């Protein structure tokens, strides 16, 4: 109970990155019309922020301008993910976004390739933060591959950004290798040293993105980066549906803040336009998310109700229940019995 209260007290919002990180998925080639449809789903669900790409590229700039116009006064804010380059920040400002997510590096090889010393790079960051603040934008500063870098190097950037009064700092598990206890330890350490809110962005290479996000919230993070269906670079990031279901299980009141009933439709749409099957482990999978096949499961459900084997009602997330009958392991049921069950628990 104490852990649940900590998570809910710390949580402040979702920063969905389907239109930025999701675009990096190997099968994602969203047309402008598809981008607008995805955006409409995110607005309908009610995510707090939508992260878009870098407007340094003309096609991305056109997409951002279109989304800013399509928002139509909703509460969801639009953030542009940019490099620590002055032109990137200026282009984002021109697009009319609500904030910039400035990505930094502390990798010596990358800095050398830019012909920048660490001190010069930090000076550029100060100027970029100042330019964004002067326009009233929200500012997040992140460091790539936080868990793969020496902590003191990242802290130089985070400390500097915090001193400049940014709204958030972001940690990224760029290679998807962090484990929940390491996440908790590192977040607690940052929370003691940094005043700004903490955002987390977990890749899923080892399958820990969701549990790491929950562990980060318990340890003091406030925002989680997600995508529909969890799509992104390589194995992707924290799926929006999985995070929202976890938060709902801790506090059903989350169902009033976010419209969970759109999740299945939204993630099914992503699977269709990417030309991929829905991952079988997601609850938004229309075929498998609430499919019941084993005889012992079916027998208990018919006798006592679906709550015996379902953590929540499928309708809550816009999905439906499937009963797989008459298979080798299912046993047999009379049609009238099946109809009565489905009518009672539809």
Half-sphere exposure at residue 148, Cβ-oriented, CA atoms within 13 angstroms: 14
Which of 87-91, 207-211, 305-309, 336-340 has the weakest average pLDDT?
A: 336-340
pLDDT at 83: 96
* Catalytic residue annotation: 297
Between helix 32-45 and helix 58-70 the angle, nearest 10°, is 40
pLDDT at 334: 81
The whole-chain average pLDDT of the chain stands at 93
**Mean pLDDT confidence for 189-209:** 97
What is the reported pTM? 0.93
Of 241, 175, 168, nearest to 202 by C-alpha is 175
Exposed e or buried b per residue across 96-109, where buried means at least 16 C-beta atoms within 10 angstroms of its C-beta: ebbbbbbbbbbeee
Residue percentage of the chain with pLDDT more than 70 = 100
Residues 23-46 have pLDDT tens digits of 999 999 999 999 999 999 999 999
pLDDT band at 300 (very low <50, low <70, confident <90, very high): confident
In the predicted structure, residue 250 carries a pLDDT above the cut 80: yes
Residue percentage of the chain with pLDDT more than 90 = 79
Query: What is the CATH number that goes with domain 291-344?
Result: 4.10.430
Domain ranges, ordered by start, for the chain:
2-274, 291-344
2-274: CATH superfamily: Aldolase class I (3.20.20.70)
Distance CA 292, CA 49 (A): 36
- Check: CB of residue 79 under 8 Å from CB of residue 15: yes
The residue behind tokens 């603040």 is 133
Cα dihedral sign for 245, 213, 230, 81?
positive
Q: What is the DSSP string of 42-68?
A: HHHHT-SEEEE--TTSHHHHHHHHHHH
pLDDT band at 1 (very low <50, low <70, confident <90, very high): low
In the predicted structure, residue 117 carries a pLDDT above the cut 70: yes
**Mean pLDDT confidence for 132-148:** 94
Measuring CA to CA, how many Å separate 288 from each of 56, 102, 291, 314? 41, 39, 5, 11
Residues 183-198 have pLDDT tens digits of 999 999 999 999 999 9
2-274 against 291-344: fold identical: no
Report the run of H or E that residue 103 belongs to, with start and end: strand 99-104
């Amino acid at each position: 109970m104490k852990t649940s209260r900590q998570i809910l007290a710390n949580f402040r919002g979702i920063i969905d990155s389907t239109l930025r990180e999701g675009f990096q998925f190997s099968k994602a080639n969203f047309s402008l019309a598809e981008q607008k449809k995805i955006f409409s789903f995110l607005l309908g669900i009610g995510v707090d922020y939508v992260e878009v790409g870098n407007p340094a590229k003309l096609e991305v700039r056109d997409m951002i301008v279109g989304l800013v116009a399509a928002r139509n006064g909703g509460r969801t804010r639009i953030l542009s993910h940019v490099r620590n380059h002055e032109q990137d920040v200026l282009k984002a400002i021109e697009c009319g976004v609500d904030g910039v997510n400035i990505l930094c590096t502390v990798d010596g090889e990358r800095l050398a390739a830019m012909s920048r010393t660490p001190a010069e790079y930090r000076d550029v960051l100060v100027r970029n933060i100042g330019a964004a603040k002067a326009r009233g934008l929200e500012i997040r500063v992140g460091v790539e591959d936080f868990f793969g870098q020496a902590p003191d190097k990242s802290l130089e950037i985070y400390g500097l950004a915090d001193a400049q009064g940014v709204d958030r700092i972001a940690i990224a598990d760029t290679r998807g290798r962090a484990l929940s206890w390491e996440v908790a330890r590192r977040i607690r350490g940052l929370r003691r040293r940094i005043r700004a809110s903490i955002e987390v962005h977990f890749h899923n290479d080892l399958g820990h993105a969701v549990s790491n996000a929950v562990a980060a919230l318990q340890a003091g993070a406030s925002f989680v980066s997600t995508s529909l269906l969890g799509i992104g670079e390589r194995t992707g990031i924290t799926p929006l549906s999985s995070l929202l279901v976890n938060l709902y299980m801790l506090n059903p009141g989350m169902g009033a803040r976010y419209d969970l009933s759109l999740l299945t439709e939204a993630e099914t749409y992503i699977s269709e336009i990417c030309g991929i099957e829905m991952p079988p482990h997601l609850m938004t999978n229309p075929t498998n998310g609430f499919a019941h096949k084993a005889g012992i499961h079916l027998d208990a459900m018919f006798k006592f109700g679906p709550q015996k084997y379902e953590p929540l009602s499928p309708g809550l997330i816009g999905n439906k229940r499937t009963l797989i009958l008459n298979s080798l392991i299912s046993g047999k049921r009379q049609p009238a019995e099946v109809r009565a069950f489905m009518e009672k628990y539809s």
